[in-house]
Structures are given as structure tokens and as C-alpha cells.
């Protein structure tokens, strides 16, 4: 059984968008790996073309027992990405140990390995947002999800193998196929529902005097641009190490809300609400990807602006009969 590429988390948000991108590039010789369980993410797979599907635990057993033929590479996007998950043992097994086993297999077989780290590793941003080795060793994530990702980054760095693979630190990605994520969906999807139901968007108040309500900042990137970058990593062997994937320009939640209202051709109406106490000490007030590595790649396609991405998402998917890629 010869497979060109394996995509874990392939039924998830970014994973299914990557399948869409690969299909657009004429590639469908793909093995999709995920844990479908009881969620609705199986719907993300319906339009996709791929050779086969395996559940995550079955896949790992088969891979390590040598039941596959030639594999060109693995894009490992599968993880529990809930920033509010408190089961540390589960996150260690699912996000750290599983990734480590895939990486060790890939290194032994000299198969290209691309994996999802996370911008959550940067914590409150006190050490900046560079993805270089020196910064990576200092980082203090604010939640266990971020730390589970940091654990693998540090393992790969200490083993001296990080440059032999590609780790991707996704920032705030939004777009079609995130519908199954519940509270972990982007504000665009949640705000769209709020506006349709109540005519307003609800944003958290600020609890720092240097940030007005709604002026907290994030680095937002449309999922179509994110998977374009992943495709660059898949098709260009010279990449190695950790890379930020964001727009490189922080924008406020107020900016994002305004873009959603504009895409719906409605006047903005924002209500500021109290943030849950348990979240206040773990809340990031500013994130912005250092994208110097990409600015050096002059052939890279420019990203959509926040307003362009939100308009495409709202008008092309959320407002459409078929909201899937």
C-alpha cells in the first residue's frame, strides 16, 4: 500500500482545509487519520478526495508494525486543541507522546515530518514571538494545551532533530470547516450566530488599564492562507525547524467584529461582557507572529487582509447553503 502523504487530524479544521488544498493541486493519493468519535467533523470529509481513512490508534499500530508501503511524508495536525482542557495526563499522551512516536518513526525511516505546534506556547508574550531556538527554551505557556505542544518542541530541540522536521506555530486561524469545534470555534463563526440571533457581538471586557474593552489584539489568519503555507512546507525540502504561521499583524477584537458586520452589511453593535474569573489570569492580551522567515521568501503569495478573509468566509460559506470547503 503506497501512500504519498499521510494527514493526521485530517477531518479537523485545518486538516480538512489542507485536504481541500491538496485536492486543488491534483493530489488525492492520501491517507486521512483522525478520531471521529461523536463529533460532526466527519462532514468535513464529504467533499474531499483521498485513498483511505484510519482511526488514530489503529493507524499508529499499523505504522509501527510496518504495514505501509512507501510514504512521502506525514503532516501531523491531530491533537486535542482545547485551551481549556484540564486533563494533563490525556494531553501528555495525546499531544506529546503520540507526536513523539510519529517523529521517531519518521526519523528512522527518513520520511518528511511536519507537525502542528501552537502559538499558545508563547504564553503572555513576555519573551516575544520569535520561533528561534533561544526563545523556544524560555517560553512559559499559560495553559496545559500550550505546554503539551511546548513539551514536544523542547524534546525535538534537545534531541537535536528539530531542524530535520517542520513545526508550525499556528496563530488565530479562522474559516470554513471549523463548525464542529464548539466553543473553540473562531469569533467569526460565533459572532455570525450572535448577530443573526441577537443583532450584536459579545466581546470580553479588558481587565488591564493599558487595553480598552475590545482592544485586546490577536494575529488572525484565514485558513486558506494557512494551508497555502503548509503546502509550501510539504513541497519545499529546505524548510526545517519551527515556523510561525500568522498574518504578522496584530488586530483588535473590535476590528474583527467590524469586519464581520461589514461583510453582513450591517451597522456594528458590540456588547462587552465579563470574562470568566478562571480565564482572566490565563488570557493573552496581545499576540503577533514574527514572520521574518516568510518576508525573506519573496515568491510567497501575499495573505488576505482580515477584512478580505472575513468577507470570503461570511459571504462564501457562513451565508451559503453549503458552508464547507
Distance CA 49, CA 309 (A): 25
- Cα 297 to chain centroid, rounded: 21
Beta strands in 25-157 (DSSP E): 30-34, 52-55, 71-76, 112-116
Q: Write the Ramachandran bin of 49: left for phi over 0, alpha for psi from -120 to 50, otherwise beta.
A: beta
The structure's pTM equals 0.95
DSSP letter, residue 77: -
Mean pLDDT of the chain, nearest integer: 95
Q: Which fold has domain 3-172+220-245?
A: Rossmann fold (3.40.50)
What pLDDT, on a 0 to 100 scale, did the predictor assign at position 190?
Answer: 96
Mean pLDDT over 91-119 rounds to: 96
Distance CA 41, CA 177 (A): 8
What pLDDT, on a 0 to 100 scale, did the predictor assign at position 265?
Answer: 97
Distance CA 3, CA 260 (A): 40
Instruction: Locate 191 and state its grid cell.
Output: 459572532
Q: Tell the burial category of 97 from Cβ atoms under 10 Å away from its Cβ (0-12, 13-18, 19+).
A: middle
Helix or strand (DSSP H, E) at 170: strand 166-170
pLDDT score of 300 more than 80: no
Distance CA 101, CA 98 (A): 5
Summarize pLDDT for 243-287 with one digit per residue, the tens. 999 999 999 999 999 999 999 999 999 999 999 998 888 888 999
Positions marked catalytic: 145, 181
Distance CA 96, CA 137 (A): 17
**Domains of the chain: which residue ranges?**
3-172+220-245, 177-218+250-287+305-318
DSSP letter, residue 119: G
Pairing of strands 251-252, 217-218: antiparallel
pLDDT score of 298 more than 70: no
Instruction: Locate 24 and state its grid cell.
Output: 486543488
DSSP letter, residue 184: G
Helix or strand (DSSP H, E) at 71: strand 71-76
Mean pLDDT over 95-106 rounds to: 97
What pLDDT, on a 0 to 100 scale, did the predictor assign at position 189?
Answer: 97
pLDDT score of 1 more than 60: no
Q: Which fold has domain 177-218+250-287+305-318?
A: UDP-galactose 4-epimerase; domain 1 (3.90.25)
Backbone dihedral angles phi then psi of residue 5, each to the nearest 5 degrees: -135, 145
Backbone dihedral angles phi then psi of residue 255, each to the nearest 5 degrees: -60, -45
Amino acid at each position: 500500500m503506497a501512500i504519498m502523504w499521510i494527514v493526521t487530524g485530517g477531518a479537523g479544521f485545518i486538516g480538512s482545509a489542507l485536504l481541500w488544498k491538496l485536492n486543488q493541486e491534483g493530489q488525492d493519493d492520501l491517507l486521512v487519520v483522525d478520531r471521529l468519535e461523536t463529533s460532526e467533523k466527519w462532514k468535513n470529509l464529504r467533499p474531499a478526495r483521498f485513498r483511505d481513512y484510519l482511526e488514530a490508534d489503529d493507524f499508529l499500530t499499523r505504522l509501527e508494525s510496518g504495514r505501509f508501503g512507501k510514504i512521502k511524508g506525514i503532516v501531523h495536525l491531530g491533537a486535542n486543541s482545547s485551551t481549556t482542557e484540564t486533563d494533563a495526563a490525556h494531553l501528555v499522551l495525546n499531544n506529546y507522546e503520540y507526536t513523539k512516536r510519529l517523529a521517531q518513526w519518521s526519523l528512522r525511516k527518513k520520511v518528511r515530518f511536519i507537525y502542528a505546534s501552537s502559538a499558545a506556547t508563547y504564553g503572555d508574550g513576555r519573551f516575544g514571538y520569535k520561533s528561534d531556538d533561544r526563545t523556544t527554551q524560555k517560553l512559559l505557556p499559560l495553559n496545559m494545551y500550550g505546554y503539551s505542544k511546548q513539551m514536544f518542541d523542547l524534546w525535538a530541540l534537545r534531541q537535536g532533530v528539530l531542524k530535520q522536521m517542520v513545526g508550525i506555530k499556528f496563530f488565530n486561524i479562522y474559516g470554513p470547516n471549523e463548525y464542529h469545534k464548539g466553543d473553540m470555534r473562531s469569533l467569526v463563526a460565533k459572532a455570525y450566530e450572535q448577530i443573526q440571533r441577537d443583532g450584536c457581538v459579545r466581546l470580553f471586557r479588558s481587565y488591564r488599564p493599558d487595553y480598552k474593552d475590545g482592544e485586546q489584539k490577536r494575529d488572525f489568519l484565514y485558513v486558506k492562507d494557512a494551508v497555502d503555507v503548509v503546502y509550501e512546507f510539504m513541497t519545499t525540502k529546505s524548510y526545517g525547524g519551527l515556523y510561525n504561521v500568522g498574518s504578522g499583524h496584530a488586530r483588535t477584537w473590535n476590528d474583527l467584529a467590524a469586519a464581520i458586520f461589514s461583510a453582513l452589511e450591517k451597522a456594528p453593535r458590540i456588547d462587552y461582557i465579563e470574562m470568566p474569573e478562571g480565564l482572566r489570569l490565563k488570557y493573552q492580551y496581545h499576540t503577533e507572529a514574527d514572520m521574518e522567515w516568510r518576508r525573506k521568501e519573496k515568491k510567497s503569495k501575499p495573505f488576505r487582509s482580515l477584512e478580505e478573509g472575513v468577507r470570503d468566509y461570511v459571504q462564501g460559506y457562513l451565508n451559503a447553503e453549503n458552508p464547507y470547503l
